[in-house]
Structure 1
């Protein structure tokens, strides 16, 4: 406490202290900040945990996105340069070309072709426990529907088992429509067909979403990214984002391939435009050629041939083939008639040895007939007379006989139709054969004139085509440099980024919370903060005591005289000596603003440490509303006390209670009176103080809190020295302002502050291990470390 005298010698300037205290309170208190930081560590952990948990839940319930990309290169070739003609600026041409191609790929006209190629109208989502998962490649079934009936809709499909399913608009609804795979089911007025795939699985629920063409186009436009990658290299980058990796790869790959095909088609169209342009320059010759072409075309359409000589040979071959077909049909009819005759005559022996050429059905029936006939013959040889086996064989033989007759009749009908068509075809061929020679001569004459004009046309066209082709312009050819890749990792949300961000956000929230807590925290935490907000002298500091230890040991100065807390009270005694307490007839009042700040604890321990210096000390418990002093000395409650003395019902000598130290006495509060303030203002209180001064060196007044009742102010006016207790992390800054106001209004003198429950940064040292034992333990530990002794 050697550094304290300057603080004890401060002069109180009540006029300047409030303003100065306010100015000082605006300064940043680093010690308070770190104390609040330590107190807020649990909140730090909580904030960071909440942020990390929020990210975990977000990732748990959010589908990840995938992106597939492809890179295309446009190979520009100016055909005009091949003939030495000037071309457009290369840089300007590249920019214009790439911009146009990008807009083409993004256009709805082009995307409609993508929609035709891919099954994007139906979306399959597997209903999960926490989130839905879109299925694109590995789907359990394929859905088809009536496009003219369904525009856009969505519903749930519950797979019941391997063959059955249920459909409903609401999975929580009891209204379900049952259906079977492979069979149409009517739902919401439209027919649907579900067919199982190789990836079928049961006991799952799927969410089906059907979109119309406009919705699919909007979906593609919103997620498709097309941009020039490198102007100098003429490359375009195509990217697509969605929640299914197979789907994004399919879409990008299809767009790349369709664009390549489109470029190829455009090149063909350009070539056709060149030919058309050149043909317009040769209109005079074309008019002549068109007349001959019209004749040749009419001849070809009318006669269905452009080479009568060749067709004549083909007609002869066809007539020969028709004759062969007619003979084959007649031969089959002959065999069928012979078979029919055998059946009508029931000539079983002839039927068995008959070997004709028939269709598969008749051959099969003949084989069955033979087998049954053989079985019947064996049965008749084995069984004489009537037998069930013989009857059964006969019935079976009759049945086969009927079926064979029906098959023969059907074959006759079929062969007759074939024969009729063959004869009709033969007649047409013979008629054509008779007309072909005359037509061939007429066509050959026209073809000779056509060849003459055609040679002239080709000769003129060859001379005029060179500069016309140079004017045809530039063609764009597309090469896929990088095909659409399968995204093996997601692009978002990134767990690593989100978790790092959540920790950073948690730390930011922690510091925001800490700053707000610092700004709004009204309790006085440290001695430094207390010194900044008051001009009153701080006479001593008492370290924090464990509540359990304080209750177990009422007067720590007596019970643990060598502890740190006892040293604190000895330092407080020294501080009071600096304040002029060493004169006789000292009256010390101990007060606070509210209950719980340690007023009684400090009063009894201060009295105890003063009594140990060979001074007679008495404690007066003036807190007659909530007395506690007697419990510190384990004194039973007694009706004789301060209230009885001030009421004139008892003498102070009769109310004095002895303690474990002969120099320390106590007068408890006694019975709780209805008017404690009036009792303290009575003449009995002045007489009591005057009488006690004659018998004791020091009088300790344990007063009521001055922030709650007026009793404490009355007691303070009778004291030579007043101690105002401020408890760390409990007393509010406003209490100090109220104290300044009371000091000024009531003209109180010799007010000092005791800072109670101050935090000790020396670990267990402040928790009242034996002061000297702690030092001995430390010295012993040092010896062990350095192997001394």
Structure 2
């Protein structure tokens, strides 16, 4: 029989895997298409991301530790490494400088081919806003002079929802409770609608990347990703330019101002020095005085030092007074210089620097916004606050300088008294010498500072340079749409196969021959293919060349080996529950026996739910229930069918005690009597899983056929077969697998029986 050939377990597992995939192929295909469609949707609507990149060369220089001269100190840029430069480029400080050239605060969008596209500078209109930041506006073009502005579901600061929908003229400031803006048209509006958002802060929306081109290279690659290719190019170039300028901008500016100041002072001191030298020379010629006494030299030197300090304080005081007047006037403050005031006044220098930055920021904002813009208002308050602080600081510095001047003047007066007691010629010569020494000392000091400043200015020439500027990106780097769709299809395939195996694992219905073999050692007698639902229940007689007829012939052959040739064959057919095809198998098995010239009879012993008479169109007024109860004789209940060699005993009226009737001695006598007249006696028993009648009838049979239906019978039903197989009273127990699906090649799920040669005969 079919279950006697050797089987490779590994091969069965592989086959089962492919059978499971094939069984759920429609579901798997559905998941593949579903995930593919979802991934295609995501890939299509995901915005394009463009990347622009530029390269800069970093002029790295190590610190000259052995040099202490002013040239090396001025030229020394400090310790520079590629990692340091990378962090500088990524810093907020540099981004702030680059953002001065690129606008991220105004975002304009439209929809084309169902996708949202950002327009940037390609927007046909521009928006100036003083109020209403971060509110999404929708704009519809009406005509060349007007537009329709719509706001849906926005919330104010108190969380109250508000709406707006009006037709407005271009170029006119619109002031409402929630926003203050002006829309200027600069090109025809070709799309149906646009929407825009204006942010209060100008912040980049993409990601900046900085990498070394190689491990030991001094060339850095600056890249930036954005949804707008032009903006990506502009911001990348702005970063590179800001990087080149940031290292030299401040030093160059301060050095230039300091040089201007020193040159002015040198011009004055040079004239004073020349005048002092001429007066000393004339005095020497007129008085024949060559040198001073040691006491006079000490007094002169001390007075010279005090007067030099007094002169420095006077110069600083003059600068402070000039700065004070300019702050008070409030004009050209961005060009103020604090050089020459003194190294101890760092706080004032920082305040002036902060004031200048605030003034420059305000100027930049005023190019796009009015004085009502919140950012401008904030800067205006900051400027006023810084002016007040600077004036207070200058007042404090002037008070401190006045105190120093008074102390120095007292010291000079004291030295002057000591000098007055000296002879007149020596005293006069000492005064001239003192003035010359003071002027000479200041002149030397200014020359030294000018040299230092000139060297520092020269050293601010950048060693960095831009190698390649960013080009306009032509193709997006993200998203990888083909990859997204491919991943979606793969995920769909994986999900579909996983769900298929999960369903197969959770599905406890019998589907294949292997399911039975894994659960029981009972032999499999055969397989019955799926029969179409129609009224022709005797398929073997209606279509004798069909796969169904051939499967019953195979079953008939297998049954011949299970009975003695000189004895009638009693076959009990049962199942676990109704609906597994028990009665259909009985009538077709009897029909295939009759074709082989064997006289066959079918007994319908399923008295609780009889259906046998319906298949032959016979009366059910009397039958097994009346026979076993003694109401009728055996001969009167046997009914002839239209088919030769095929008789039937129907169930008869439903009795109140079918179990007692089946278990009576008369049942055995009826079977023995029928053995005398028929070659094959088929008992259509009740389902064994519902009542015990079938087990009684199986004791009387030579062969017992247990029906299991694929896709319907549960694997737990096989437990009943195992229980019956250990009973010695039950003979010839075998399994018949019913309703097997045959694929297009004529095979079932790998059962090894091919019925493809046989075709259904058309009626």
Q: TM-score, normalised by structure 1?
A: 0.64
Rounded to whole Å, the distance in 2 between the matches of 1:288 and 1:688 is 154
**Match of residue 509, structure 2, among 505, 514, 523:** 523
Q: Secondary structure at the match of 2:122?
A: coil
Could you tell me how far apart the structure 1 residues matched to 2:622 and 2:703 are?
Answer: 27
Work out the CA distance in 1 between the residues paired with 2:67 and 2:453.
Answer: 8
Measured against aligned partners, the alpha-carbon deviations of 1:602-646 in whole angstroms (never above 9, x if no partner) come to: 2222222333444322110122233333344x3334322223323
- Give ranges in structure 2 of 5+ residues lacking alignment: 155-161, 274-307, 323-434, 748-752
1:620–1:702 contact (8 Å) kept in structure 2: yes
Shift of 1:734: 0.8
2:94 corresponds in structure 1 to 110
Contact 1:543–1:758 at 8 Å: present in 2 too?
Answer: yes
Distance 1:613 1:250, change over 3 A: same
1:169, distance to aligned residue in structure 2 (A): 3.0
C-alpha change, 1:133 and 1:586, in structure 2 (3 Å) is same
> Aligned-pair distance for 1:723?
0.7
Cα distance in 1, alignment partners of residues 258 and 217 from structure 2: 29
Q: 2:538 aligns with which of 527, 552, 555?
A: 555
Helix, strand or coil at the partner of 1:547: coil
| Structure 2 partner of 1:446 | none
Counterpart of 1:134 (choices 102, 115, 118) is 118
Task: Give yes or no for contact 2:578–2:687 (8 Å, CA) kept in 1.
Answer: yes
Distance in 2 between the 1:684 and 1:600 partners? 23
Of 695, 699, 706, which aligns to 1:724? 706
1:193 matches 2:166: no
Pair 1:237-2:221 in alignment: yes
Number of the residue aligned with 1:662: 644
2:59 corresponds to? 75
Name the CA distance, whole Å, in 2 between partners of 1:746 and 1:95: 99
**Match in the other structure for 1:211:** 199
SS in 2 for 1:653: helix
Tell whether 2:530 aligns with 1:541: no
1:511 aligned onto 2:493: no
**C-alpha contact 1:681 1:714 (8 A) present in aligned 2:** yes
- What's the offset of the Cα at 1:481? 1.8
Any idea what the Cα deviations from partners look like across 1:648-698, whole Å, max 9, x if unmatched? 332231221223443221112233445433432344433422332232232
Asked if 1:636 corresponds to 2:618, the answer is yes
Classify the secondary structure of the residue corresponding to 1:709.
Answer: coil
Cα pair 1:66 1:241 within 8 Å, conserved: yes
CA RMSD in angstroms comes to 4.7
Name 1:680's counterpart in structure 2: 662
Choose which of 207, 214, 232 in structure 2 pairs with 1:223: 207
Distance 1:230 1:50, change over 3 A: same
| 1:552 Cα deviation after fit | 5.4
- Trace 1:166-565 onto structure 2 (pairs within 5 A): 166-170=148-152, 175-198=164-187, 200-201=188-189, 204-213=192-201, 216-217=202-203, 219=204, 223-230=207-214, 232-265=216-249, 268=252, 476-538=462-524, 540-548=525-533, 551=534, 553-565=536-548
CA distance in 2, matches of 1:485, 1:744: 86
**Partner of 2:59: helix, strand, or coil?**
strand
Contact 1:160–1:166 (8 Å) recurs in 2: yes
Tell me, yes or no, if the aligned pair for 1:78 and 1:87 is still in contact at 8 Å: no
Please tell me whether residue 580 in structure 1 is matched to residue 560 in structure 2: no
CA shift at 1:53, angstroms?
0.6
User: Contact 1:79/1:472 (CA < 8 Å) preserved in 2?
Assistant: no
**Residue 122 (structure 1) aligns with:** 106
Structure 1 residues 471 and 702 mapped into 2: Cα distance closer, same or farther (>3 Å)?
same
Is the 8 Å Cα contact of residues 80 and 473 (structure 1) preserved in structure 2?
no
SS of equivalent residue, structure 1 residue 185:
strand
Task: Provide the residue aligned with 1:49 in structure 2.
Answer: 33
Determine the C-alpha separation between the residues in 2 that align with 1:234 and 1:133: 38
Q: Counterpart of 1:736 in 2: which secondary structure?
A: helix
Cα deviations by residue, 1:78-123 (Å, 9 ceiling, x for unpaired) = 89799999999xxxx9983333333333322332223332222221
1:585, 1:229 → 2: CA distance? 95
Match of 2:578 in 1: 595
Cα distance in 2 for residues equivalent to 1:27 and 1:747: 37
Partner of 1:650: 632
SS at match of 1:491: coil
2:51 paired with 1:63: no
Instruction: Report the Cα distance in structure 1 between the residues aligned to 2:196 and 2:687, rounded to whole angstroms.
Output: 74
Distance across 2 between alignment mates of 1:100 and 1:150: 40
| 2:698 corresponds to 1:698 | no
Aligned pair partner of 2:689 in 707, 720, 724: 707
One of 622, 642, 653 as aligned partner of 1:671: 653
Secondary structure (helix, strand or coil) at the match of 1:166 reads strand
**Cα contact 1:72–1:237 (8 A) shared by 2:** yes
Asked whether the 8 Å contact 1:164–1:181 carries over to 2, the reply is yes
Corresponding residue of 1:13: none
Shift of 1:191: 2.8
Using the TM superposition, give the Cα deviation of residue 143 of structure 1 relative to its aligned residue in structure 2, in angstroms: 0.8
Q: Structure 1 pair 521/461, CA: closer, same or farther in 2 (3 Å)?
A: same
> Aligned residue for 1:433?
none
Long gaps (5+) in structure 1: 8-23, 302-448, 775-789
Q: Does 1:100 align with 2:84?
A: yes
Cα distance, 1:245–1:187 mapped onto 2, change above 3 Å: farther
Flag the structure with larger Rg. 1
Measured in 2, the distance between the counterparts of 1:152 and 1:465 equals 54
Paired residue secondary structure (1:192): strand
CA distance in 2, matches of 1:529, 1:116: 75
What is the distance in 2 between the residues matched to 1:240 and 1:87? 39
Distance 1:623 1:266 in 2: 106
C-alpha contact (below 8 Å) 1:263/1:478 kept by paired residues: no
Scaled by the length of structure 2, the TM-score of the pair is 0.66
Deviation at 1:73, TM superposition (A): 1.4
**Number of matched residues?**
589
Q: Residue 574 of structure 1: CA displacement? A: 2.8
CA distance in 1, matches of 2:19, 2:734: 25
Contact 1:74-1:476 within 8 A present in 2 as well: no
Q: 1:194-232: CA deviations, max 9, x gaps?
A: 11112x30663333222222xx33x45x62223444453
The CA distance in 2 between the partners of 1:62 and 1:618, in whole Å, is 73
Residue pair 1:152, 1:212 contacting (<8 A) in 2 also: yes
The answer to whether the 8 Å contact 1:656/1:667 transfers is yes
Contact 1:161 1:202 in 2 (8 A): no
Between the aligned partners of 2:641 and 2:755, the Cα distance in structure 1 is: 23
- In 2, are the aligned partners of 1:162 and 1:202 still within 8 Å (CA)? no
Structure with greater proportional helix content: 1
